[in-house]
Amino acid sequence: MRISRTLAASAAAISMLALTACSSGTGDDPSSSASTDASASTEATASSLDDVAGTTVTVVTHDSFYVDDAALAAFEEETGMTVEFVAPGDAGTLVNQLVLTKDAPLGDVVYGIDNTFATRAVENGVLASYTSSAPAATDSAAYAIEGAEDQLTAIDYSDVCLNYDLAYFEDNDVAVPETLEDLTDPEYAGLVSVMNPATSSPGLAFLLATIGELGDGWQQWWADMAANGLRVTASWGDSYYTDFSAPNYGGDYPIVLSYASSPPYEVIDGEPTTASMTDGCFRQVEYAGVLEGASNPAGAQLVVDWMLSDEFQAGLPTNMYVYPVSSSVEVPADWAEYATLSSSPVTVDPAEIDANRDAWIDEWTSIVLD
Protein backbone atom coordinates (compact mmCIF):
# COMPACT_ATOMS: atom_id res chain seq x y z
CA MET A 1 0.00 0.00 0.00
CA ARG A 2 0.86 1.92 -0.79
CA ILE A 3 0.40 4.22 2.10
CA SER A 4 3.01 6.69 3.20
CA ARG A 5 1.73 6.79 6.75
CA THR A 6 4.40 7.40 9.36
CA LEU A 7 5.14 4.82 12.01
CA ALA A 8 4.51 7.47 14.62
CA ALA A 9 0.99 8.00 13.35
CA SER A 10 0.40 4.28 13.23
CA ALA A 11 1.69 3.78 16.74
CA ALA A 12 -0.60 6.51 17.99
CA ALA A 13 -3.66 4.88 16.49
CA ILE A 14 -6.33 3.46 18.76
CA SER A 15 -5.93 -0.04 20.17
CA MET A 16 -6.60 -3.13 18.07
CA LEU A 17 -10.21 -4.27 17.91
CA ALA A 18 -11.68 -7.71 17.49
CA LEU A 19 -13.64 -8.41 14.30
CA THR A 20 -16.60 -10.49 12.82
CA ALA A 21 -18.22 -11.08 9.45
CA CYS A 22 -19.67 -13.82 7.32
CA SER A 23 -17.40 -16.75 6.52
CA SER A 24 -17.04 -18.87 3.42
CA GLY A 25 -18.50 -22.35 3.07
CA THR A 26 -16.38 -25.51 2.95
CA GLY A 27 -16.54 -28.94 1.43
CA ASP A 28 -19.33 -31.52 1.18
CA ASP A 29 -18.39 -33.37 4.37
CA PRO A 30 -17.03 -30.81 6.82
CA SER A 31 -17.25 -33.06 9.86
CA SER A 32 -14.90 -35.68 8.42
CA SER A 33 -12.52 -33.35 6.58
CA ALA A 34 -12.14 -30.87 9.46
CA SER A 35 -10.42 -33.34 11.79
CA THR A 36 -8.16 -34.57 8.99
CA ASP A 37 -7.20 -31.03 7.99
CA ALA A 38 -6.65 -30.02 11.61
CA SER A 39 -4.39 -33.02 12.21
CA ALA A 40 -2.34 -32.31 9.09
CA SER A 41 -2.09 -28.64 10.00
CA THR A 42 -0.90 -29.46 13.52
CA GLU A 43 1.79 -31.83 12.22
CA ALA A 44 2.98 -29.27 9.64
CA THR A 45 3.12 -26.51 12.23
CA ALA A 46 4.99 -28.64 14.73
CA SER A 47 7.52 -29.62 12.07
CA SER A 48 7.94 -26.00 10.98
CA LEU A 49 8.46 -24.79 14.54
CA ASP A 50 11.15 -27.42 15.07
CA ASP A 51 12.86 -26.17 11.91
CA VAL A 52 12.78 -22.49 12.80
CA ALA A 53 13.32 -22.37 16.56
CA GLY A 54 16.29 -20.15 17.31
CA THR A 55 16.50 -18.74 13.78
CA THR A 56 16.03 -15.23 12.42
CA VAL A 57 13.49 -14.45 9.71
CA THR A 58 13.82 -11.20 7.79
CA VAL A 59 10.71 -9.44 6.49
CA VAL A 60 11.25 -7.02 3.61
CA THR A 61 8.50 -4.42 3.55
CA HIS A 62 7.59 -0.86 2.60
CA ASP A 63 8.39 2.08 4.84
CA SER A 64 4.83 2.39 6.13
CA PHE A 65 4.70 -1.06 7.71
CA TYR A 66 3.78 -1.23 11.36
CA VAL A 67 2.83 -4.12 13.61
CA ASP A 68 1.85 -3.90 17.25
CA ASP A 69 4.78 -4.73 19.54
CA ALA A 70 2.69 -7.16 21.60
CA ALA A 71 1.52 -9.05 18.51
CA LEU A 72 5.08 -9.31 17.23
CA ALA A 73 6.38 -10.49 20.60
CA ALA A 74 3.66 -13.14 20.79
CA PHE A 75 4.60 -14.45 17.33
CA GLU A 76 8.29 -14.56 18.23
CA GLU A 77 7.51 -16.42 21.46
CA GLU A 78 5.24 -18.93 19.69
CA THR A 79 7.72 -19.69 16.92
CA GLY A 80 11.01 -19.24 18.75
CA MET A 81 12.17 -16.99 15.91
CA THR A 82 13.57 -13.50 15.94
CA VAL A 83 11.86 -11.27 13.37
CA GLU A 84 13.81 -8.50 11.68
CA PHE A 85 12.52 -5.93 9.20
CA VAL A 86 14.10 -4.27 6.17
CA ALA A 87 12.23 -1.35 4.59
CA PRO A 88 13.89 -0.04 1.41
CA GLY A 89 11.13 2.47 0.55
CA ASP A 90 7.57 2.68 -0.75
CA ALA A 91 5.81 -0.07 -2.71
CA GLY A 92 7.49 0.81 -6.00
CA THR A 93 10.96 1.06 -4.49
CA LEU A 94 10.34 -2.17 -2.61
CA VAL A 95 9.67 -4.14 -5.79
CA ASN A 96 12.53 -2.51 -7.67
CA GLN A 97 14.94 -3.45 -4.88
CA LEU A 98 13.66 -7.02 -4.80
CA VAL A 99 14.29 -7.32 -8.52
CA LEU A 100 17.78 -5.83 -8.29
CA THR A 101 18.78 -8.10 -5.40
CA LYS A 102 17.00 -11.31 -6.44
CA ASP A 103 20.29 -13.23 -6.67
CA ALA A 104 21.11 -12.20 -3.10
CA PRO A 105 17.70 -11.48 -1.56
CA LEU A 106 17.30 -8.82 1.09
CA GLY A 107 15.37 -11.20 3.31
CA ASP A 108 13.12 -14.24 3.50
CA VAL A 109 9.60 -12.93 3.03
CA VAL A 110 8.08 -9.77 1.60
CA TYR A 111 5.00 -7.82 2.63
CA GLY A 112 3.71 -4.79 0.72
CA ILE A 113 3.85 -5.71 -2.95
CA ASP A 114 0.61 -4.25 -4.27
CA ASN A 115 -1.45 -4.89 -7.37
CA THR A 116 0.19 -2.00 -9.22
CA PHE A 117 3.61 -3.70 -9.10
CA ALA A 118 2.77 -7.38 -8.52
CA THR A 119 3.40 -8.67 -12.04
CA ARG A 120 6.84 -7.03 -12.13
CA ALA A 121 7.87 -9.06 -9.09
CA VAL A 122 6.38 -12.28 -10.49
CA GLU A 123 7.87 -11.97 -13.96
CA ASN A 124 11.33 -11.26 -12.56
CA GLY A 125 11.35 -14.46 -10.51
CA VAL A 126 11.46 -12.74 -7.15
CA LEU A 127 8.97 -15.04 -5.43
CA ALA A 128 8.92 -18.71 -4.45
CA SER A 129 5.81 -20.88 -4.47
CA TYR A 130 3.87 -21.10 -1.21
CA THR A 131 0.15 -21.58 -0.60
CA SER A 132 -0.90 -20.86 2.97
CA SER A 133 -3.24 -23.23 4.77
CA ALA A 134 -4.32 -20.59 7.29
CA PRO A 135 -8.12 -20.33 7.67
CA ALA A 136 -8.18 -16.85 6.12
CA ALA A 137 -6.43 -18.14 2.98
CA THR A 138 -9.87 -18.80 1.47
CA ASP A 139 -10.74 -15.11 1.86
CA SER A 140 -7.33 -14.09 0.58
CA ALA A 141 -7.85 -16.14 -2.58
CA ALA A 142 -10.62 -13.75 -3.67
CA TYR A 143 -7.86 -11.18 -4.38
CA ALA A 144 -5.48 -13.59 -6.13
CA ILE A 145 -3.62 -12.40 -9.21
CA GLU A 146 -4.03 -14.71 -12.15
CA GLY A 147 -0.90 -16.73 -12.72
CA ALA A 148 0.54 -15.84 -9.32
CA GLU A 149 -1.92 -17.60 -7.02
CA ASP A 150 0.85 -19.67 -5.42
CA GLN A 151 3.32 -16.80 -5.07
CA LEU A 152 1.37 -13.83 -3.73
CA THR A 153 -0.98 -14.04 -0.74
CA ALA A 154 -3.38 -11.10 -0.32
CA ILE A 155 -3.21 -9.62 3.19
CA ASP A 156 -5.18 -6.37 3.04
CA TYR A 157 -6.88 -3.87 0.76
CA SER A 158 -8.13 -0.30 0.65
CA ASP A 159 -9.57 2.25 -1.76
CA VAL A 160 -7.42 5.18 -2.86
CA CYS A 161 -9.92 8.04 -3.02
CA LEU A 162 -10.12 11.80 -3.00
CA ASN A 163 -10.97 13.15 0.47
CA TYR A 164 -12.59 16.51 1.15
CA ASP A 165 -12.95 19.01 3.97
CA LEU A 166 -16.64 19.12 4.94
CA ALA A 167 -16.48 22.60 6.49
CA TYR A 168 -15.00 24.22 3.38
CA PHE A 169 -17.94 23.29 1.20
CA GLU A 170 -20.50 24.23 3.82
CA ASP A 171 -18.86 27.55 4.69
CA ASN A 172 -18.37 28.55 1.06
CA ASP A 173 -21.73 27.29 -0.19
CA VAL A 174 -20.01 25.13 -2.81
CA ALA A 175 -21.48 21.81 -3.87
CA VAL A 176 -19.43 18.77 -2.95
CA PRO A 177 -18.07 17.24 -6.19
CA GLU A 178 -19.49 13.82 -6.96
CA THR A 179 -17.55 12.72 -10.02
CA LEU A 180 -14.09 13.13 -11.50
CA GLU A 181 -15.60 15.20 -14.30
CA ASP A 182 -17.02 17.66 -11.76
CA LEU A 183 -13.50 18.56 -10.65
CA THR A 184 -12.62 20.15 -13.99
CA ASP A 185 -15.29 22.83 -13.43
CA PRO A 186 -13.89 26.32 -12.66
CA GLU A 187 -15.82 26.17 -9.38
CA TYR A 188 -13.13 23.77 -8.11
CA ALA A 189 -10.13 25.64 -9.49
CA GLY A 190 -7.13 25.48 -7.18
CA LEU A 191 -8.82 23.17 -4.68
CA VAL A 192 -7.25 19.78 -5.43
CA SER A 193 -3.91 18.32 -4.27
CA VAL A 194 -2.70 14.93 -5.50
CA MET A 195 0.60 13.02 -5.59
CA ASN A 196 3.00 12.42 -8.43
CA PRO A 197 2.53 8.82 -9.67
CA ALA A 198 6.26 8.57 -10.33
CA THR A 199 7.08 9.09 -6.65
CA SER A 200 4.00 7.98 -4.73
CA SER A 201 2.11 4.68 -4.72
CA PRO A 202 -1.27 6.31 -3.99
CA GLY A 203 -0.45 8.78 -6.76
CA LEU A 204 0.07 5.89 -9.15
CA ALA A 205 -3.11 4.20 -7.94
CA PHE A 206 -5.09 7.36 -8.65
CA LEU A 207 -3.59 7.67 -12.12
CA LEU A 208 -4.74 4.09 -12.75
CA ALA A 209 -8.17 4.99 -11.40
CA THR A 210 -8.53 7.75 -13.97
CA ILE A 211 -7.37 5.42 -16.75
CA GLY A 212 -9.81 2.71 -15.70
CA GLU A 213 -12.68 5.13 -15.13
CA LEU A 214 -12.26 7.49 -18.08
CA GLY A 215 -10.73 5.23 -20.71
CA ASP A 216 -9.47 7.20 -23.70
CA GLY A 217 -10.45 10.43 -21.97
CA TRP A 218 -7.94 10.18 -19.15
CA GLN A 219 -5.30 12.38 -20.80
CA GLN A 220 -7.77 15.18 -21.44
CA TRP A 221 -9.03 15.00 -17.87
CA TRP A 222 -5.53 15.47 -16.50
CA ALA A 223 -4.89 18.33 -18.95
CA ASP A 224 -8.11 19.98 -17.77
CA MET A 225 -7.14 19.49 -14.15
CA ALA A 226 -3.69 20.99 -14.74
CA ALA A 227 -5.36 24.02 -16.31
CA ASN A 228 -7.71 24.19 -13.33
CA GLY A 229 -4.96 24.76 -10.79
CA LEU A 230 -4.15 21.17 -9.80
CA ARG A 231 -1.40 20.89 -7.18
CA VAL A 232 0.99 17.94 -7.38
CA THR A 233 3.20 16.85 -4.48
CA ALA A 234 5.87 14.18 -4.10
CA SER A 235 4.25 12.17 -1.33
CA TRP A 236 1.05 11.37 0.52
CA GLY A 237 2.29 13.23 3.58
CA ASP A 238 2.91 16.41 1.59
CA SER A 239 -0.66 16.48 0.32
CA TYR A 240 -2.44 15.18 3.40
CA TYR A 241 -0.54 16.61 6.34
CA THR A 242 0.57 19.88 4.71
CA ASP A 243 -1.95 20.77 2.00
CA PHE A 244 -5.24 19.51 3.45
CA SER A 245 -7.47 22.27 4.85
CA ALA A 246 -9.15 19.87 7.31
CA PRO A 247 -9.08 21.12 10.94
CA ASN A 248 -6.26 18.81 12.02
CA TYR A 249 -3.90 20.24 9.37
CA GLY A 250 -5.00 23.70 8.24
CA GLY A 251 -3.61 23.74 4.72
CA ASP A 252 -5.07 25.48 1.68
CA TYR A 253 -6.56 22.57 -0.30
CA PRO A 254 -10.00 21.20 0.64
CA ILE A 255 -9.69 18.18 -1.69
CA VAL A 256 -6.69 15.85 -1.35
CA LEU A 257 -5.86 12.36 -2.48
CA SER A 258 -5.86 9.81 0.33
CA TYR A 259 -7.83 6.70 1.30
CA ALA A 260 -11.41 5.73 2.04
CA SER A 261 -10.11 4.77 5.48
CA SER A 262 -8.82 8.27 6.32
CA PRO A 263 -12.03 10.02 7.50
CA PRO A 264 -12.45 8.04 10.76
CA TYR A 265 -9.18 9.55 11.96
CA GLU A 266 -10.47 13.08 11.37
CA VAL A 267 -13.52 12.77 13.65
CA ILE A 268 -13.38 15.52 16.28
CA ASP A 269 -15.63 15.42 19.36
CA GLY A 270 -17.74 12.77 17.72
CA GLU A 271 -18.27 14.74 14.50
CA PRO A 272 -16.72 13.94 11.11
CA THR A 273 -14.66 16.72 9.56
CA THR A 274 -13.80 14.97 6.29
CA ALA A 275 -15.32 12.44 3.89
CA SER A 276 -14.19 10.62 0.77
CA MET A 277 -15.53 10.73 -2.75
CA THR A 278 -16.62 7.29 -3.89
CA ASP A 279 -16.18 7.99 -7.62
CA GLY A 280 -12.77 7.35 -9.14
CA CYS A 281 -11.48 5.17 -6.32
CA PHE A 282 -8.82 2.54 -7.02
CA ARG A 283 -8.97 -0.75 -5.10
CA GLN A 284 -5.41 -1.35 -3.89
CA VAL A 285 -4.47 -4.80 -2.58
CA GLU A 286 -1.28 -5.66 -0.69
CA TYR A 287 0.36 -9.08 -0.77
CA ALA A 288 2.93 -11.16 1.07
CA GLY A 289 5.16 -13.85 -0.40
CA VAL A 290 8.15 -16.04 0.28
CA LEU A 291 11.27 -14.77 -1.49
CA GLU A 292 13.08 -17.05 -3.93
CA GLY A 293 16.44 -17.96 -2.45
CA ALA A 294 15.34 -17.22 1.12
CA SER A 295 17.77 -18.47 3.75
CA ASN A 296 14.86 -19.26 6.09
CA PRO A 297 11.98 -20.41 3.85
CA ALA A 298 10.22 -22.30 6.65
CA GLY A 299 10.22 -19.16 8.77
CA ALA A 300 9.03 -17.11 5.81
CA GLN A 301 6.04 -19.43 5.36
CA LEU A 302 5.11 -19.03 9.01
CA VAL A 303 5.23 -15.24 8.61
CA VAL A 304 2.75 -15.43 5.71
CA ASP A 305 0.46 -17.62 7.84
CA TRP A 306 0.80 -15.18 10.75
CA MET A 307 -0.22 -12.26 8.55
CA LEU A 308 -3.47 -14.12 7.85
CA SER A 309 -4.08 -14.79 11.55
CA ASP A 310 -6.93 -13.07 13.36
CA GLU A 311 -4.50 -11.20 15.61
CA PHE A 312 -2.52 -9.69 12.76
CA GLN A 313 -5.58 -9.06 10.59
CA ALA A 314 -7.42 -7.34 13.43
CA GLY A 315 -4.58 -4.86 13.84
CA LEU A 316 -4.47 -3.78 10.20
CA PRO A 317 -7.11 -1.01 10.40
CA THR A 318 -5.49 0.78 13.31
CA ASN A 319 -1.87 -0.03 12.50
CA MET A 320 -1.82 0.58 8.76
CA TYR A 321 -5.23 2.06 7.91
CA VAL A 322 -6.21 -0.81 5.61
CA TYR A 323 -8.97 -3.40 5.49
CA PRO A 324 -8.22 -7.01 6.48
CA VAL A 325 -8.94 -9.69 3.90
CA SER A 326 -10.13 -12.09 6.59
CA SER A 327 -13.88 -12.45 6.97
CA SER A 328 -13.46 -13.59 10.57
CA VAL A 329 -12.61 -10.08 11.71
CA GLU A 330 -14.62 -6.87 11.71
CA VAL A 331 -13.45 -3.32 11.12
CA PRO A 332 -13.74 -0.82 13.98
CA ALA A 333 -17.15 0.75 14.56
CA ASP A 334 -16.09 4.19 13.34
CA TRP A 335 -14.82 2.63 10.12
CA ALA A 336 -18.24 1.13 9.51
CA GLU A 337 -19.68 4.64 9.84
CA TYR A 338 -17.08 6.87 8.22
CA ALA A 339 -14.70 4.73 6.11
CA THR A 340 -16.99 4.24 3.14
CA LEU A 341 -15.58 1.91 0.53
CA SER A 342 -16.60 2.51 -3.07
CA SER A 343 -19.43 0.30 -4.28
CA SER A 344 -17.76 0.18 -7.69
CA PRO A 345 -14.01 0.69 -7.25
CA VAL A 346 -11.83 0.94 -10.32
CA THR A 347 -9.55 -1.98 -11.09
CA VAL A 348 -7.02 -2.38 -13.88
CA ASP A 349 -5.66 -5.78 -14.88
CA PRO A 350 -2.20 -6.23 -13.27
CA ALA A 351 -0.74 -7.48 -16.55
CA GLU A 352 -1.99 -4.34 -18.31
CA ILE A 353 -0.49 -2.21 -15.56
CA ASP A 354 2.86 -3.93 -15.93
CA ALA A 355 2.85 -3.52 -19.71
CA ASN A 356 1.96 0.18 -19.61
CA ARG A 357 2.98 1.56 -16.22
CA ASP A 358 6.12 3.42 -17.29
CA ALA A 359 4.55 4.77 -20.49
CA TRP A 360 1.48 5.98 -18.59
CA ILE A 361 3.63 7.75 -16.01
CA ASP A 362 5.73 9.37 -18.74
CA GLU A 363 2.60 10.52 -20.55
CA TRP A 364 1.09 11.87 -17.33
CA THR A 365 4.31 13.79 -16.65
CA SER A 366 4.28 15.39 -20.07
CA ILE A 367 0.65 16.44 -19.64
CA VAL A 368 0.71 17.69 -16.07
CA LEU A 369 4.26 18.77 -15.25
CA ASP A 370 5.96 19.74 -18.52
Do 253 and 205 reside in the same domain of the chain? yes
Do 133 and 120 reside in the same domain of the chain? yes
Residues 6+ apart with CB under 8 A from 226: 367, 368
At residue 141, what is the residue type?
Answer: A
Do 40 and 56 reside in the same domain of the chain? yes
Q: Which pLDDT value is given to residue 199? A: 84
Is 11 a domain residue? yes
Q: For 115, how many CA atoms within 13 A lie in the half-sphere containing its CB? A: 27
Do 254 and 179 reside in the same domain of the chain? yes
Is 82 a domain residue? yes
Is 1 a domain residue? no
Measured in residues, the chain has a length of: 370
Do 97 and 218 reside in the same domain of the chain? no
Do 234 and 357 reside in the same domain of the chain? yes
For residue 67, what are the domain limits? 7-157+283-337
Provide the b/e sequence for 45-55 (b: ≥16 CB within 10 Å): eeebbeebeee
CB 125: neighbour CB atoms within 10 A? 13
Distances (CA, A) of 149 to 8, 10, 282, 308: 34, 30, 21, 15
Do 25 and 11 reside in the same domain of the chain? yes
Is 2 a domain residue? no
Do 100 and 28 reside in the same domain of the chain? yes
Q: Which pLDDT value is given to residue 36? A: 38
Q: Which pLDDT value is given to residue 291? A: 98
Q: Give the helix ranges, DSSP H, for the chain.
A: 7-11, 30-52, 69-79, 91-100, 118-123, 137-140, 166-171, 201-214, 218-227, 236-237, 297-307, 310-320, 333-338, 350-368
**Over its length of 370 residues, how does the chain's per-residue pLDDT go in tens digits?**
433 332 333 333 323 323 323 333 333 333 333 333 433 443 445 557 888 999 999 999 998 899 999 999 999 999 999 999 999 988 888 999 999 999 999 999 999 999 988 999 999 999 999 999 999 999 999 999 999 999 999 999 999 999 999 999 999 999 999 999 999 999 999 999 999 998 888 999 999 999 999 999 999 999 999 999 999 999 888 999 999 999 999 999 999 999 999 999 999 999 999 999 999 999 999 999 999 999 999 999 999 999 999 999 999 999 998 999 999 999 998 998 999 899 999 999 988 998 999 999 999 999 999 8
Domain count across the chain: 2
What single-letter DSSP state applies at residue 117?
T
Do 45 and 86 reside in the same domain of the chain? yes
The reported pTM is 0.81
CB 34: neighbour CB atoms within 10 A? 12
Is 264 a domain residue? yes
Indicate which CATH number applies to the domain containing 203. 3.40.190.10
Is 329 a domain residue? yes
Do 260 and 322 reside in the same domain of the chain? no
Is 289 a domain residue? yes
Q: Which pLDDT value is given to residue 105? A: 97
Do 16 and 143 reside in the same domain of the chain? yes
Do 26 and 125 reside in the same domain of the chain? yes
